[in-house]
Amino acid sequence: MIERTLYDDDHKAFRGSVAEFIRRSVTPYVDEHASSKRIPREVWEEAGKHGFLGLEVPEEYGGSEAGDYRFNAVLLEELAKVNLALASSLSIHFDVVAPYLVKLSTPEQRERWLPGFCDGSIVTAIGMTEPSAGSDLAALRTSAVKHPNGGWILNGSKIFITNGGSADLIIVAARTTPDSRGKGISLFAVEASMPGFSRGTPLDKVGQPEADTAELYFDNIHLTESHLIGTLDGGFGHMMELLPQERIGAAVTNLAHARQILDETIEYARDRHAFGQAIGSFQHNKFLLAELVTKTEVTQAYVDQCVAAQVRGELSAVDAAKAKWWAADVQNNVLDHCVQLYGGYGFMNEYRVARAWKDARVTKIWAGSNEIMKNIIGRDLGF
């Protein structure tokens, strides 16, 4: 394998710290997390103690302000090696929500929320997707109507929200100007303690049981000026500006997850024997594994270039879309073949390959479906 040149010694040292945190605080409890269908607050607090939650947060608020997206990528890769639920739950917080609270908030808002954000006492989520809108963010129906005495009244719901069952603070996209599609959307920080906020029970998903994905409801919640994130009616633009980071983060996560399970499958193919020889030595399986390894390594080269572009502030929405859909597609293709190589054992929940296969299917849907990604790319081609 050609050595990756994306990371330097500081990133490698950081990777060691993340791996040690996972070894001590996560790996011994993964089965417990799956059975309880949640990642306990203790994991968040431990991650906070190690400085993993505040990579983009200024030091004055308890973060490390690394100023280098490669640290995010290292953390994403190591979490994904454990399982996708762990990676998706924590990344929504430190990789997706963080830029909204750091780049778009006021000093008062940062002082109010970022210290808890960094130490794990405040868990966050982001509410974009709605039951009736799906990937069409411009068509959302959740509304924030101006109140005569100041502020807004928020009504509506969001669905498929990662961390939705436990989040203390949710960035919510709501329509503030009727009949205006994307131009009339604003972002608000909604605290779970506010009157009128409620959530459904965690959704019964095909995979990722550890992630407390839920539907959220907003019933006449009174929002003040202090809850507005960014500019009024500028929410759609803010989301479009920050979505590339979410999508390259998804690509990094998906690929690391697939490669970890592929490596484990290669070991299985060496150890598992049939007809007097290792199953990996059969020509079909040997060729297949050669294809899968090549596909992941070639994909890694492109994703690494996108991460480097993100570090420079040059990653475009189109290139992020390419990385997102392709990595999700490669991930699902690789894991499907891995299940096949395990045979009947690959369909047993006690095997990591089976759980990984189930966990991965949603990656072609979330962070913008693969079809939406191709539409973004197609528009850039002039169609």
Name the band, by pLDDT with cuts 50, 70 and 90, for residue 100.
Answer: very high
Provide the b/e sequence for 27-59 (b: ≥16 CB within 10 Å). eeebeebbeebbbeeebbebbbeebbbbbbbee
Cα separation, 319 vs 336, in Å, equals 26
Name the band, by pLDDT with cuts 50, 70 and 90, for residue 132.
Answer: confident
Residues 257 and 227 grouped into a single domain: no
User: Residue 183 pLDDT > 90, yes or no?
Assistant: no
The per-residue pLDDT for 136 is: 76
pTM for this prediction? 0.96
Cα separation, 321 vs 316, in Å, equals 9
User: Residue 289 pLDDT > 80, yes or no?
Assistant: yes
Residues 226 and 139 grouped into a single domain: yes
Residue 1 lies in a domain: no
Hey, which residues are catalytic here? 246
Q: What is the CATH number of the domain that holds 22?
A: 1.10.540.10
Residues 213 and 255 grouped into a single domain: no
Residues 254 and 370 grouped into a single domain: yes
Which pair of tokens denotes residue 150?
């100041």
User: Residue 66 pLDDT > 90, yes or no?
Assistant: yes
The per-residue pLDDT for 182 is: 67
Strands (E), the chain: 124-127, 143-146, 152-161, 169-175, 185-191, 197-199, 214-223, 228-229, 273-274, 277-278
Task: Name the domain count of the chain.
Answer: 3
Region 136-155: what's the mean pLDDT? Answer: 91
Query: How close are the terminal C-alpha atoms of the chain, in Å?
Result: 38
Structural contact between residues 55 and 98, judged by C-beta atoms closer than 8 angstroms: yes
Express as a percent the part of the chain with pLDDT over 90. 95
The per-residue pLDDT for 139 is: 80
Contacts of 97 (CB under 8 A, 6+ apart): 117, 124, 125, 126, 171
User: Residue 298 pLDDT > 90, yes or no?
Assistant: yes
Name the band, by pLDDT with cuts 50, 70 and 90, for residue 179.
Answer: confident
Residue 200 lies in a domain: yes
Among residues 197, 232, 267, which one ends one of the domains? 232
Residue 2 lies in a domain: no
Residue 92 lies in a domain: yes
Range of the domain at 291: 236-381
